[in-house]
Structure 1
Amino acid sequence: MTHEKLDVLKKYFGYDTFRPQQAEIIDTVMANKDCLVLMPTGGGKSVCFQIPAILKPGLTVVISPLIALMKDQVEALRGNGVNAAFLNSSLSSSEQDQILWQAKLGELKLLYIAPERLFSGSTFEFLKDWNVSLFAIDESHCISSWGHDFRPEYRQLNTLKQRFPDVPVIALTATADRVTRRDILKQLHIEHAETFISSFDRPNLSLSVLPGRKRLQQIQSFINKHENQAGIIYCLSRKGTETVAASLQSAGFKAEYYHAGLAADKRSKVQEKFLKDDIQIIVATIAFGMGIDKSNVRWVIHYNLPSNVESFYQEIGRAGRDGSAADTVLFYSYMDIITRQDMINNSDQSVEQKELLHAKLNRMKQYAEADICRRRILLSYFNEAVEKDCGNCDVCQNPRTRFDATIIAQKALSGIARTDQKVAMGMLIDILRGSRNRNILQFGYDKLPTFGAGHDLRGEEWSEYIGQLLNSGVMDIAYDEAHTFKLNPASWQVLRGERKVDLVKFIPLSERKAREEELAPKEKPKQEIIRDALFERLRILRKQMADALAVPPYVVFTDATLSEMAQKKPVSEAQMKAISGIGEERFRRYGETFIKEIVDFAKENTKPGTRVVKGLTFVETYDLYKEGYSVKVIAEKRNLNAVTIISHLVKLKEDGHDINLKSLIDDRAYQTIIKAAQELQIGKNDPLKPLFEQLNEQFDYGQLRLSLAILEEERERSF
């Protein structure tokens, strides 16, 4: 089984080894046992059911919540040479009928279907005639009311085990806490299934939280540093997506907005343009993204605070699915919490559900306000212990500077006390800064002893410090009293000088930008410049091929695969197949075209006497050989000796190229060399000097090496 799994992994997916736990999960499914799989987005969940689907007789039915996911995964599977299809409302009646017949005739290995389509019409009854060998339930947290994305239609899946007790079920999700996991198992009636929990760590994702001021300005600066890279900006409201998209468009960026208020065909077109790299940026509500299999998203920005850690982690997980480095940014301000609290309080949820939502929001708030490693906080939420800081979040890279802010706290708390605890954020800041606006004068707040006591700090500084005071518990907020501030016992301790307050030092945007520029890498080495130029060339070629095939570019090759190509510059079939993510079918479809592009690039960027691409010299020899030139003529044309040319051709043959080695040497010479080699028991990997001397230096080293390679080839063929 181990050998079979690895063969399938390499042949269809182009990888040499499994990621952690994938092999064990596949073995469990192949043993017809149920299981629950928790893996982070981009962690390789799909392989856990796709390889068993290929190995098992019959059909694997994949239940998936969104059309986009089905379409993406089916296109990728077909690109890898696997017979797969999807069944949903985007297809015409005749197209659906054709797929139903393919399933009945056993022509498919995987069929993706939405739960509502599965239980409509006679589809569920058809399953009995389809020789179903496995049910894979993706995004399985949708079945639980404790999950962050509960979908009532998923509840119908609890009948699967009743009707198909002998068919194994694999439930998969990227985000589920302990309560949600138990509920998934209960709802699917697989309580005794083995649960596999992979590390939720995505070390390729950088994590940053930025102050929520001048967000559009910060976003434009960020995107300028990520030229030609695809990214997603999540906004809380539909209007927010439109405003941000319009701002980016006016600044010259290729951006579109996406939300549930758009017509279905408009949403579909925007999503298609993003998947095909026709636009760089999608600005969206959470209505976008679940199940999007686009592997080359290089960054995700949250314009507003998400409602819970599960949603946040799933959304940032859409970046860097190919394993390459990606950036995530969360903007956070005091008003985000107020907005989210209001949304929960004004919802139609039960009291119990509201309490749960408030608790989840509080955990998200703790992440945003952290001054310890952010990855530790995320992973601990999913009950995963972490022994050391990650080094790839803003807190690790720029440790927070704390200072004694007791006097600042006393000024703010005094302002609250002297206004009878009836002011909110804006009014308190105006009092502290000594603003003589209409409201201040109307209430007589300009007569307070604290009026103007904080004129030395800017409004944005006071906003951040007051937010920190709230979070530290030395003051409260009454959400049901127009968000006015209230004092508590800790407040009075601070005012009486009985308690010290430490806060994190405010950093102006200008200072933070200067620090980033100071830490930014300087001019790149020449090899990196060449590598990046080749990556861009391959990226353009990928886009051209993808457009011709009407598929997203990452279906051709992922960014990670292109990056490895640009670094290693493969120029032969063997070298190309050694690149991670290139299996037999992908090489057959695209390999030679990309090799030609790499060779052309190398020739254009190679100075006489230098070698930019390892193996390019072999390709030049091979091109001349294919044109019918003899070894002698090739050597003359390339200004190399014949021994070198023969060594090239032997290596090319070993790499799988079509070369008739026997035609390169006289048969009598071959027989003489082989007879002497057998007497001396010399093989092709042994030193050739004894054989050279045994034959009285009658044949050169090229002829000796060629003869031994032919002998080895004939031996392998005889086996």
Structure 2
Amino acid sequence: MKTITRMPQTALDLLNSLYGYDSFRGHQAEIIDQLTAGHDALVLMPTGGGKSLCYQIPSLLRDGVGMIISPLIALMQDQVDAMQQLGVKAAFLNSTLAINEQNFIEQQLLAGELDLLYIAPERLVQERTLELLQRCQLALFAIDEAHCVSQWGHDFRADYLSLSLLHERFPNIPRIALTATADVRTRQEIIERLALTDAKSYISGFDRPNIRYGIANKTSPRKQLMAFLQQRKQEAGIVYCLSRKKVEDTAAWLTQQGFTALPYHAGLSPQLRETHQSRFLREDGVIIVATIAFGMGIDKPDVRFVAHLDLPKSIEAYYQETGRAGRDGLPAEAWMVYGLQDVVRLQQMQQQSNGSEQFKRAERHKLDAMLGLCEVTSCRRQVLLNYFADKAPDHCGNCDNCQIPPETWDASEAAQKLLSCVYRTGQRFGVVHVLDVLLGKETDKVLQHGHQQLSTFGIGSDIHEAQWRSVVRQLVVRGLLRVDLEGYSALQLTDICRPVLKGEQSLHLRKEDFKAPSAKKAGKKSTRKALVKPEHQRLFDDLRECRKRLAEEYNVPPYVIFHDATLKEMLEVRPMSRIDLLTITGVGESKLDKYGNDFIDVICRHAEADLV
């Protein structure tokens, strides 16, 4: 115990006098006792559950300084300010400090004048830092955001892999690893990589009952966002976007609509990011529009909403990001719109990653699980908590599906038709071809394979193509169909589809509102300008230029390469891999081989420009 006369002698006394709380919550008291006694701990506690107390109080009770390893140096200042306001001798050591400031803190550290020291993992593992710590009296090591150690997780950071050396260099100093987000696999990886095999695990559950979850299909995202924000002009919130360009455009647009909205992404200068983060933390009613570069460790308690204008890559990422709302326990909202283009972009990012095939496969499974959360017609909270192997109610009463159950329709017959068509075409073809057969389209590909002779040819013409795509998507989510990503995205049957295929089990799917095709389109030829939105014009022109160049090279008319309708679909879907391009209407395997790489290169260049 430090010799500070005002400091009480027990954890509960500290809680009462220093933090102003009457009692501990959940496992807090057990964790503090475990660490104070010199033992290791692994803590999984939802955001706002009081993780920081679990290492702050033992650091004050034990002799020496508590070393807090935090991944984001931008947040250390605020955390240290908060502790200093409580009278705790806290400091941080990172690259933002001048040399003389760093030297002063190191002198304080050696003199035993600090209670808490926040440090980034990359600095901690430097030999000079380790030698410095060996000359100090250490109370404990706290590894915050411990899920960053997992190469399978949503926020892997290579610097965390070196933190296992703490066990080797300081075997008698207790360690606590903390996170709000980790599925069973990630928990095991934390234990293995941080050498916490003897640590006691404390899992407090993942439910955030004060957060209302709402998810909708993306139709007109700005109008949808404005409708959501209409009654929230004085509230603090976060709006997540996938690209830097979209972040800046959305922030500027929200500002024009009368909101205080600030952009935040890795492409901005460190000074501007710090200014915007500071305003968000310190001012009321500020909205941060950000990429995933923003948010980890944010302590702002009154974030009333987190909105996603693009699909997160996994349920872990979604849970981590939405968890920044409602840390104070008061009602908050997690709102999201998503669309096919989001999925294509995330798939492209997965394909271009440097990970192994096993890693990419795991990432695809995570994306599938995220889509499952979006498409489910039952309680969303149940799906979310089941993903983390946590107990969940059948009906939470605080998600859009529970409050306004989605309209469903008896899709048993439609599913039978689709499953049968997949089977009869040999389970070797993607969505486009299977739907062409169902709808009775005599395309070159259908005629080439003789599929116009199949009994399933044309049996789905009573349902609009958009509705069929919804059926496909929902059957994939439910596991009745799978997509063979190694085989040109071919649809394949799964074992659990048999009862539905044989008519032994009924199937109800989410009913979506689709507009009927316009009759005017058939009678009037649209111009190119009318087909393309202004913001897509530059990419469309580049696709046409690519087509023209190839047409000259092969000495054929441009439409022989691809029709305008095919280029327009490329605009909407943005295929960035050969597998994705093969799903576009008008792209067969032969044209894929001849022209595919050229068009993919054009689309990828534009995508990279958007993300810069």
TM-score range, shorter chain: 0.7 to 0.9
- Report deviation, 1:387: 5.0
Instruction: Pick one of 317, 329, 336 that aligns with 1:330.
Output: 336
For 1:189 and 1:420, locate their aligned partners in 2 and report how far apart those are by CA, in whole Å: 49
For 1:380 and 1:491, locate their aligned partners in 2 and report how far apart those are by CA, in whole Å: 22
For 2:507 and 2:365, locate their aligned partners in 1 and report how far apart those are by CA, in whole Å: 25
Instruction: Pick one of 295, 302, 311 that aligns with 1:296.
Output: 302
After superposition, what is the alpha-carbon deviation per residue over 1:414-467, rounded to whole angstroms, capped at 9, x for unaligned?
A: 9989999999778999999999xxx99xxxx99x98599457x6x765554443
For 2:106 and 2:51, locate their aligned partners in 1 and report how far apart those are by CA, in whole Å: 26
For 2:267 and 2:252, locate their aligned partners in 1 and report how far apart those are by CA, in whole Å: 17
Find the counterpart in structure 1 of residue 373 from structure 2.
367
After superposition, what is the alpha-carbon deviation per residue over 1:174-228, rounded to whole angstroms, capped at 9, x for unaligned?
A: 1222333233233333311111111221111112221222222111111112221
Matched, 1:173 2:175: no
Find the counterpart in structure 2 of residue 77 from structure 1.
83
Relative distance call for 1:129 and 1:474 in structure 2 (3 A) is closer
SS in 1 for 2:238: strand
Relative distance call for 1:432 and 1:267 in structure 2 (3 A) is farther
- Report deviation, 1:50: 0.8
Find the counterpart in structure 1 of residue 318 from structure 2.
312
Amino acid at match of 1:66: L
Find the counterpart in structure 1 of residue 162 from structure 2.
156
- Report deviation, 1:348: 2.0
1:204-353 to structure 2, matched below 5 A, reads 204-277=210-283, 280-353=286-359
SS in 2 for 1:129: coil
Residue range with higher mean Cα deviation, 412-421 or 465-474: 412-421
The answer to whether the Cα contact below 8 Å between 2:59 and 2:66 also exists between their aligned partners in 1 is yes
1:672-711 to structure 2, matched below 5 A, reads none
Find the counterpart in structure 1 of residue 148 from structure 2.
142
Relative distance call for 1:470 and 1:353 in structure 2 (3 A) is closer
Find the counterpart in structure 2 of residue 203 from structure 1.
209
Find the counterpart in structure 1 of residue 600 from structure 2.
none
Relative distance call for 1:240 and 1:415 in structure 2 (3 A) is farther
Relative distance call for 1:283 and 1:421 in structure 2 (3 A) is farther
For 1:429 and 1:233, locate their aligned partners in 2 and report how far apart those are by CA, in whole Å: 36
For 1:352 and 1:426, locate their aligned partners in 2 and report how far apart those are by CA, in whole Å: 28
The answer to whether the Cα contact below 8 Å between 1:65 and 1:115 also exists between their aligned partners in 2 is yes
Matched, 1:403 2:409: yes
After superposition, what is the alpha-carbon deviation per residue over 1:142-179, rounded to whole angstroms, capped at 9, x for unaligned?
A: 22323332222122221212222221111111122233
- Report deviation, 1:63: 0.8
Unaligned runs of 5+ in 1: 511-719
- Report deviation, 1:265: 2.5
- Report deviation, 1:39: 0.8
For 1:136 and 1:467, locate their aligned partners in 2 and report how far apart those are by CA, in whole Å: 43
Amino acid at match of 1:376: Q
Matched, 1:42 2:48: yes
Relative distance call for 1:318 and 1:274 in structure 2 (3 A) is same
Instruction: Pick one of 49, 57, 76 that aligns with 1:51.
Output: 57
- Report deviation, 1:251: 2.4
- Report deviation, 1:253: 2.1
1:16-35 to structure 2, matched below 5 A, reads 16-35=22-41
Relative distance call for 1:142 and 1:490 in structure 2 (3 A) is closer
Find the counterpart in structure 1 of residue 102 from structure 2.
96
Instruction: Pick one of 508, 520, 525 that aligns with 1:503.
Output: 508
SS in 1 for 2:310: coil
The answer to whether the Cα contact below 8 Å between 1:409 and 1:501 also exists between their aligned partners in 2 is no
For 1:383 and 1:21, locate their aligned partners in 2 and report how far apart those are by CA, in whole Å: 18
For 1:388 and 1:500, locate their aligned partners in 2 and report how far apart those are by CA, in whole Å: 21
What is the TM-score with the length of structure 1 in the denominator? 0.62
Find the counterpart in structure 2 of residue 60 from structure 1.
66
The answer to whether the Cα contact below 8 Å between 1:26 and 1:48 also exists between their aligned partners in 2 is yes
For 2:249 and 2:488, locate their aligned partners in 1 and report how far apart those are by CA, in whole Å: 27
Unaligned runs of 5+ in 2: 2-7, 516-612
Amino acid at match of 1:322: D
Relative distance call for 1:223 and 1:483 in structure 2 (3 A) is farther
1:496-535 to structure 2, matched below 5 A, reads 498=503, 502-506=507-511, 508=513
The answer to whether the Cα contact below 8 Å between 1:415 and 1:431 also exists between their aligned partners in 2 is yes
Amino acid at match of 1:92: A
Find the counterpart in structure 1 of residue 117 from structure 2.
111
For 2:39 and 2:478, locate their aligned partners in 1 and report how far apart those are by CA, in whole Å: 49
Relative distance call for 1:427 and 1:279 in structure 2 (3 A) is farther
SS in 2 for 1:122: helix
Matched, 1:188 2:188: no
Amino acid at match of 2:350: I
Relative distance call for 1:417 and 1:121 in structure 2 (3 A) is closer
Find the counterpart in structure 1 of residue 128 from structure 2.
122
Residue range with higher mean Cα deviation, 314-323 or 246-255: 246-255
Find the counterpart in structure 2 of residue 377 from structure 1.
383
Find the counterpart in structure 2 of residue 702 from structure 1.
none
After superposition, what is the alpha-carbon deviation per residue over 1:522-574, rounded to whole angstroms, capped at 9, x for unaligned?
A: xxxxxxxxxxxxxxxxxxxxxxxxxxxxxxxxxxxxxxxxxxxxxxxxxxxxx
Relative distance call for 1:422 and 1:43 in structure 2 (3 A) is same
The answer to whether the Cα contact below 8 Å between 1:206 and 1:327 also exists between their aligned partners in 2 is yes
SS in 2 for 1:217: helix
1:288-687 to structure 2, matched below 5 A, reads 288-406=294-412, 408-409=414-415, 450=458, 453-454=461-462, 463-472=469-478, 477=483, 479=485, 498=503, 502-506=507-511, 508=513
Amino acid at match of 1:504: L
SS in 1 for 2:10: helix
For 2:50 and 2:341, locate their aligned partners in 1 and report how far apart those are by CA, in whole Å: 37
After superposition, what is the alpha-carbon deviation per residue over 1:569-588, rounded to whole angstroms, capped at 9, x for unaligned?
A: xxxxxxxxxxxxxxxxxxxx
The answer to whether the Cα contact below 8 Å between 2:280 and 2:287 also exists between their aligned partners in 1 is yes
The answer to whether the Cα contact below 8 Å between 1:338 and 1:479 also exists between their aligned partners in 2 is no
- Report deviation, 1:480: 6.4
The answer to whether the Cα contact below 8 Å between 2:417 and 2:460 also exists between their aligned partners in 1 is no
How much identity, in percent, do the aligned residues show?
A: 45
The answer to whether the Cα contact below 8 Å between 1:411 and 1:453 also exists between their aligned partners in 2 is no
For 2:495 and 2:21, locate their aligned partners in 1 and report how far apart those are by CA, in whole Å: 61
May I ask how many residue pairs the two structures share in their alignment? 506
Amino acid at match of 1:348: N
- Report deviation, 1:371: 2.3
The answer to whether the Cα contact below 8 Å between 1:136 and 1:170 also exists between their aligned partners in 2 is yes
Residue range with higher mean Cα deviation, 377-386 or 321-330: 377-386
The answer to whether the Cα contact below 8 Å between 1:258 and 1:283 also exists between their aligned partners in 2 is yes
Bigger Rg over Cα: 1
Residue range with higher mean Cα deviation, 18-27 or 149-158: 149-158
The answer to whether the Cα contact below 8 Å between 1:103 and 1:130 also exists between their aligned partners in 2 is yes
For 1:153 and 1:479, locate their aligned partners in 2 and report how far apart those are by CA, in whole Å: 32
The answer to whether the Cα contact below 8 Å between 2:427 and 2:493 also exists between their aligned partners in 1 is yes
Amino acid at match of 1:303: L
The answer to whether the Cα contact below 8 Å between 2:234 and 2:284 also exists between their aligned partners in 1 is no
Relative distance call for 1:130 and 1:374 in structure 2 (3 A) is same
Find the counterpart in structure 1 of residue 578 from structure 2.
none
